[in-house]
Structures are given as structure tokens and as C-alpha cells.
Amino acid sequence: MSALLEVEQLSRRFGGLNALRNVTFSVKAGEIVGLIGPNGAGKTTCFNVVSGVLPPSDGSIRFKGRSIVGMKPSAVVAEGLVRTFQATTVFPAASVLENVMRGAFARTPVSLIGSVFNTRAARDVLAAARERCEGLLDRLALARFRDQPAGELPYGYQRRLGVAIALAAEPQLLMLDEPVAGLNPEESAEMGRLIETVHETENVTVLLVEHHMRLVMGICDRIVVLDHGEKIAEGLPAEIRADRKVIEAYLGTEDVT
């Protein structure tokens, strides 16, 4: 498997604080990789820097072999690297389908959509996107909510819709930021199954930040552990679970059964 994402010696400072310090890891095409660590370890900062929301202070980020440092978040999305956020980011008044359609056009400049909106070609593009989004809603068990305002969905389904919106942009790498935060145990287990399913059916590589250790240990091929902005371990779930440094910094405080 070749590396899809290569992060090398990545640092991000906020004033005197090293939120990330010389962090190096990679994600190979086809993997599910977990990024874990205690509160304040630098996981969200890592997501923000990799997705172009924040510039790094130092280091390199290559996606499909090309540097993406300095690219705007929209350009990073256009390259095929799409992230979700900890909080739900649905438009509450828009329907579930409209929300997913928004994701489908995340890789297309709005001005371009506008300029061709009434042409035959634009109608064909829209019809194709709609068909693709409806297929996605089917596969993510959201079809029955298709015409409902997204804000009326139960919270668990709003999180699921967040994943659908990200997938509509047809990412090669999907970065999920705490997808089960705020979900009950049953919803969390369902989300875990959903991630495994979309990893297969949508042919997407996954980088996952999550505190839910049972989920992380259950679905990840490999795990990278941060603490105080530094990588302290990397390995298979069984290796991470047994790693003394990881247990001391993090797992000792978490339920990993």
C-alpha cells in the first residue's frame, strides 16, 4: 500500500505553546488509522493543520505525493481530503438531501455552478449529483429522512448526515473528528459499523480522532498516539493497548474493554 497522506516533522505553535512538535506519521491508501491522546494532546490542531484550516509553523504535509501546505481548505477538499468537525455542521433548515447535495458541490466553485446553472450541461450535472447523493442516503440508511429539515433529525442521525455530506465530496481520505462524541452506546456502536461499511463501500481511507477506545481499538488498522503535542507511540491496536507510555499518558484513564 502506498502512503496517501505523509505528515513529516509537523509543528504548530500558539505563542509559547507547542500544540504539535515534530509529528511524523503516514496514512496508507485503504487504511483506517486512529489518532488518539489525552485532552490537549494536539489531535484537533493536527486535523486543522492537515486540512488547511491553520497553517503549520514547520514541517511538511503531502497528499498523494504533493505538498498541500499553504492550500486553502477548499483546495484541500478539491484534492480529495475531506474532514468532519466535532460539532454537527448541517444546515438545519435545509432538507437532508439538500445538505448532502451541498457536500457534492464542495469540490465545484460556486461561480462555476452559477454561470452554467440553466444550461443543459448544468442540469445533467445536477441530476447526476442528485442521483449519487440519493444513493449515498440509501447506503447510509438516511433515505427515509430525505425531505426532512436536517435540524429535525435525532442527534445521532445528524452525525451520520455529517459523514454523508463529507462523503458526497467523494474523498479519498476522510478525516473524522470525534464522530461518536455525544452519542449513546448504541449509537456509537452503529457509527462504528457505519465507518467500517463506508470504508469498504465508498472505497475511502479513514483518519479518525476519537476518545471512544473500544471503537478505536475495534476498527483501526493502526493507531498514532499524541501527548503534549508529540507522537509517543504508533502501532497495531494490540501494541498500543500494551504500550507502557500510552497507558501512563492516556489509557490508564480510559475504559478500553
CA 33 to chain centre: 11
Q: Which is nearer to ligand ATP, 21 or 133 (CB)?
A: 21
Tell me which residues in 18-77 interact with ligand ATP (CB under 6 A): 19, 37, 39-45
The beta-strand segments (E) located in 37-157 are: 58-63, 66-67, 81-83
Q: Starting at the edge strand that comes first in sequence, how are the strands of the sheet with 3-14 ordered?
A: 17-28, 3-14, 58-63, 66-67
Considering only the stretches 11-19, 77-85, 128-136, 185-193, report the one whose residues sit in contact with ligand ATP under the rule CB under 6 A.
11-19
Least CB distance to ligand ATP at residue 18 (A)? 8
Least CB distance to ligand ATP at residue 199 (A)? 23
Least CB distance to ligand ATP at residue 120 (A)? 47
Direct distance between the N- and C-terminal alpha carbons of the chain, in angstroms, rounded to an integer: 30
Q: Which is nearer to ligand ATP, 45 or 158 (CB)?
A: 45
Report the alpha-carbon distance of residue 7 to residue 100 in Å, rounded: 30
Cβ proximity of 172 and 204 under 8 Å? yes
Least CB distance to ligand ATP at residue 177 (A)? 8
Q: Which is nearer to ligand ATP, 86 or 172 (CB)?
A: 86
- The three cell numbers of residue 85 are 468537525
Least CB distance to ligand ATP at residue 249 (A)? 12
Q: Which is nearer to ligand ATP, 10 or 104 (CB)?
A: 10
Of 167, 173, 175, 246, give the one whose Cα is nearest residue 213: 246
Q: Which is nearer to ligand ATP, 169 or 176 (CB)?
A: 176
Least CB distance to ligand ATP at residue 39 (A)? 4
Q: Grid cell 493507531 — which residue?
A: 223
Q: Which of 9, 14, 75, 124 binds ligand ATP (CB under 6 A)?
A: 14
Tell me which residues in 107-166 interact with ligand ATP (CB under 6 A): none
Q: Which is nearer to ligand ATP, 40 or 218 (CB)?
A: 40
Cβ proximity of 247 and 223 under 8 Å? no
Q: Which is nearer to ligand ATP, 137 or 226 (CB)?
A: 226
Least CB distance to ligand ATP at residue 211 (A)? 6
Rg (CA), the chain: 19
Cβ proximity of 7 and 226 under 8 Å? no
CA distances from 73 to 53, 141, 204 (A): 6, 29, 19
Residues that bind ligand ATP (CB under 6 A): 14, 17, 19, 37, 39-45
